[in-house]
């Protein structure tokens, strides 16, 4: 039921067009997985995103694990039925959230407040657990304290895969140790080796399945020899595709190098997913390195903070001067929001903290990013990728 | 451009079927105005509510007055253009919100927290102004302290009408003094007399308009002679229709009496709007007394608190036992939410504080209440109103 085919390769880079076929439909690559963290996109329906051209959605295993909600999903026969959708879905392993709890608290990186933006206001995470060692890593898994209720919990490679099998997404990921950008060489190496042993455990638990495929995650941080070693090791195992996880270095240029070290050591007949990356300039640079799939919270998170994608760069719609701006959010955008509403109206709603303001902005941003990927695929077909990149990227270089 | 016609009168009560024609379309009565407080429904688009059969929407003048936002709307040529809709709209006068600030704080009735549920968390209203005299009533208007920023503000009959003319809704209301349910006879009488003088001021400011009609508001609290006097006085002035405002007594039975005293003294050739009422049993009782139009925050406010209308009574979707309930919110409902999603999914989203859970519940509740009004109109056509009332009301008697 699952296949991956490369349709066309760019003459100028490792960028390529491909098609992933799943039991719930195909995904034209390069593409982006729209995030539905807890089983819903924050502001629009899956159906609407699908209408805009979304071909795959990412649900976070952690948010169905910590509260045992996966047991409810099991009664429904999986996420597709629970969410009422028949589109391709992917789940991550829960590892990123668990390890972020660790290095977030210890090193002040990737703070809980940004990992759990909604909950941090109401939960005890922010205050109670400050400076506590939230995460303990063992050979067979990770013990951590729930940021929601303080419960001691345990997640392991086999447990993550068992939960992901219950959730039943089309594409699932191995449970890896996601290291901090501040981790040193020695620690990154140690964690990478453990991630490799866990990858084997995940494969053992996963076995073959007609309804799901497993992507193995490459680690190794920003260290050349580790990234290469990890890519070669994960490449040697029978995964359907690859995830590229962990620290990609300290600068955007580092990311390009890390992707180069990684992807040149991966089987080109398998799809490559870059986990959690999605700034506009990063997308173009990563596609040039050979990345096929992305997932990123930016379209919805920016919307919640009042920021829109536009072809002229990002636009902060909370600025008071926009209150009398009759133009649409993006005059070059053809979404319903831009056809129907002014910046003034959206700005008014955001200032008044109206939920509908966020709904409009999420709709625009999701439409916009999906449209960008359609343009990227067309540009690759027509050998115009570099032109498109130059046009768009200078508005988004950060 | 504006007409009101009675199509059919019930044999058993003052209930009736009618049609209000406006430049933006007709409204079949009895009907309910869906609330878009600050220019948006809290969770769905006007367009979607329109698709569900909504024929008129209520925007609150106060929320475009206190922040001078009506000056922005003016630049756009009115609310219809600012909101991007061409449906019939109504605005209230801002009086209810201003006077609620007064008796809310002084008598602990209608607390600010419930009048400004969203803002009270962030604003200084709750804490800073506690027990302060927020409202001072003069012959020519009302001085009050903004619950948003503490500014001293002034609203008057002519100012309210001028702002409502700028906002440009099809149906607008006179600026009345809305008295507290705890106001005594003497004060209610004094306030009623002032409301009558203000009604004349409103008419003077309003003059004739092709694009708007003015409804005069009857006051008089729960006192029989005052209600009758007020109804007769407002009835003597050239309003297009009537609003029934102020205290309707202490019990649901009181409301029926107050409506009886009022409506028997109003020209039956003009439409009657009952302000701010919308519990299911109240709707049936008021229609029997001859009410044509309602507006009420209940469909959206209940949704934000996790409560759904169903034909089996109200349903609290936050209850944990619903987490594995595969039934739709209301098995007898034909809305998209009930066709597509389970109680379990909605319950899960509400527990996780996902915005999409509220969106689904608002969609269901707005659909459901509009459907109820369609059924009410059909029942009136077929002389089956009393049967429908008995069936529905016993699930909603409070």
Banded model confidence at residue A135, pLDDT cuts 50, 70, 90: confident
CB-nearest partner of B344 from A72, A340, A344: A72
On average, the pLDDT of chain A sits at 91
What are the tokens at B29?
């009565």
CB-nearest partner of B72 from A69, A324, A341: A324
pLDDT above 70 (res B157): yes
Q: Please give the pLDDT value at position A233.
A: 98
Q: What is the pLDDT of residues B58-83, one digit of tens each?
A: 999 999 999 999 999 999 999 999 99
DSSP string covering A91-160, please?
E--SHHHHHHHHHHHHHS-S-HHHHSHHHHHHSSHHHHTTTS--EEEETTEEEEE-TTT--EEEE-HHHH
Q: What is the pLDDT of residues B338-385, one digit of tens each?
A: 999 999 999 999 999 999 999 999 999 999 999 999 999 999 999 999
pLDDT above 50 (res B316): yes
Which percentage of chain A shows pLDDT scores above 90? Answer: 82
The verdict on a CB contact (< 8 Å) between B342 and A72 is no
Nearest partner of B115 among B92, B142, B143, B140, judged by Cα: B92
pLDDT above 90 (res A53): yes
CA distance to partner chain B, nearest, from residue A193 (Å): 36
Domains of chain A (ranges plus CATH)?
3-296 (3.20.20.105), 311-393 (no CATH)
Asked if the interface predicted TM-score (ipTM) of this complex is over 0.90, the answer is yes
Q: Please give the pLDDT value at position A158.
A: 97
| Of the candidate ranges A228-232, A329-333, B146-150, B222-226, the one whose mean pLDDT is the lowest | B146-150
Q: Please give the pLDDT value at position A104.
A: 56
- Cβ-based burial of B394 (10 A; exposed 0-12, middle 13-18, buried ≥19): exposed
Which percentage of chain A shows pLDDT scores above 70? Answer: 92
Q: What is the mean pLDDT of residues B132-158?
A: 89
The verdict on a CB contact (< 8 Å) between B354 and A83 is no
Q: Is A92 marked active-site?
A: yes
pLDDT above 90 (res B135): no
Question: Which of helix, strand or coil describes residue B241?
Answer: strand
Q: Which of residues 185-224 of A touch B (CB under 8 A)?
A: none
Banded model confidence at residue A43, pLDDT cuts 50, 70, 90: very high
What are the tokens at B55?
């024929």
Q: Please give the pLDDT value at position B121.
A: 36
Chain A residues inside the 8 Å CB shell of B326: 76
Contact (CB, 8 A) for B227 and B236: no
Long-range Cβ pairs for the range B185-191 (8 Å, 24+): B185/B221, B185/B223, B185/B226, B188/B219, B188/B220, B188/B221, B188/B223, B188/B226, B188/B246, B188/B247, B189/B223, B189/B226, B191/B219
Run of H or E residues at B243: strand B241-244
| Of the candidate ranges A191-195, B133-137, B170-174, the one whose mean pLDDT is the lowest | B133-137
Q: Please give the pLDDT value at position B58.
A: 98
Which is the catalytic residue, given B92, B170, B176, B282?
A: B92
B299 close contact with A: CB closer than 8 A = no
A3-9, strands of its sheet edge to edge: A3-9, A16-22, A25-29
pLDDT above 70 (res A79): yes
Nearest partner of B54 among B29, B30, B32, B39, judged by Cα: B32
Q: What is the mean pLDDT of residues A7-16?
A: 97
pLDDT above 80 (res A257): yes
pLDDT above 60 (res B100): yes
Q: Is B92 marked active-site?
A: yes
Contact (CB, 8 A) for A100 and A37: no
Task: Give the pairing type, strands B25-29 and A241-244.
Answer: unpaired
Between CA B105 and CA B96 the distance in angstroms is 14
pLDDT above 80 (res B105): no
Q: What is the pLDDT of residues A270-298, one digit of tens each?
A: 999 999 998 999 999 999 999 999 999 99
Which is the catalytic residue, given A254, A295, A325, A330?
A: A295
pLDDT above 80 (res A155): yes
Q: Please give the pLDDT value at position A150.
A: 87
CB-nearest partner of A324 from B75, B84, B354: B75
On average, the pLDDT of chain B sits at 91
Q: Please give the pLDDT value at position A287.
A: 98
Banded model confidence at residue A73, pLDDT cuts 50, 70, 90: very high
């Amino acid at each position: 039921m699952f296949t991956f085919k490369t349709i066309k390769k760019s003459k100028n880079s490792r960028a390529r067009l491909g098609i992933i076929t799943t039991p719930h439909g195909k995904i034209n690559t390069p593409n982006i997985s729209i995030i539905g963290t807890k089983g819903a996109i924050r502001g629009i329906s899956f159906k609407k995103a699908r209408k805009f051209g979304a071909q795959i959605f990412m649900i976070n295993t952690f948010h169905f694990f910590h509260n045992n909600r996966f047991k409810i999903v099991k009664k429904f026969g999986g996420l597709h039925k629970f969410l009422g959708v028949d589109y391709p879905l992917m789940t991550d392993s829960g590892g990123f959230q668990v390890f972020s709890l660790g290095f977030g608290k210890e090193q002040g990186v990737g703070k809980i407040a940004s990992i759990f933006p909604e909950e941090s206001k109401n939960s005890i995470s922010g205050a109670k657990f400050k400076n506590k060692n939230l995460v303990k890593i063992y050979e067979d898994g990770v013990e951590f304290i729930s940021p929601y209720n303080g419960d001691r919990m345990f997640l392991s490679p086999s447990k993550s895969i068992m939960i992901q099998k219950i959730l039943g997404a089309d594409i699932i990921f191995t449970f890896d140790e996601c290291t901090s950008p501040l981790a040193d060489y020695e620690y990154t190496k140690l964690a990478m080796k453990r991630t490799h042993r866990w990858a084997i455990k995940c494969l053992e638990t996963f076995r073959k399945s007609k309804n799901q495929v497993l992507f193995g995650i490459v680690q190794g941080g920003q260290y050349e020899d580790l990234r290469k070693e990890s890519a070669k090791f994960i490449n040697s195992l029978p995964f359907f595709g690859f995830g590229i996880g962990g620290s990609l270095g300290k600068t955007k240029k580092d990311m390009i190098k890390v992707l180069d070290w990684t992807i040149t050591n991966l089987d080109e007949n398998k799809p490559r997913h870059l986990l959690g990356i999605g700034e506009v300039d990063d997308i173009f640079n990563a596609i040039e390195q050979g990345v096929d799939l992305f997932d990123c919270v930016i379209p919805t998170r920016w919307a919640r903070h009042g920021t829109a994608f536009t072809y002229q760069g990002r636009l902060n719609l909370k600025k008071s001067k926009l209150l009398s701006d009759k133009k649409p959010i993006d005059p070059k955008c053809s979404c319903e929001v831009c056809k129907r509403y002014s910046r003034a109206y959206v700005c008014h709603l955001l200032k008044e903290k109206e939920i509908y303001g966020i709904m409009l902005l999420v709709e625009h941003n999701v439409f916009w990013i999906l449209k960008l990927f359609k343009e990227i695929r067309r540009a690759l077909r027509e050998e115009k990728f570099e032109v498109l990149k130059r046009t768009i990227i200078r508005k988004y270089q950060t």
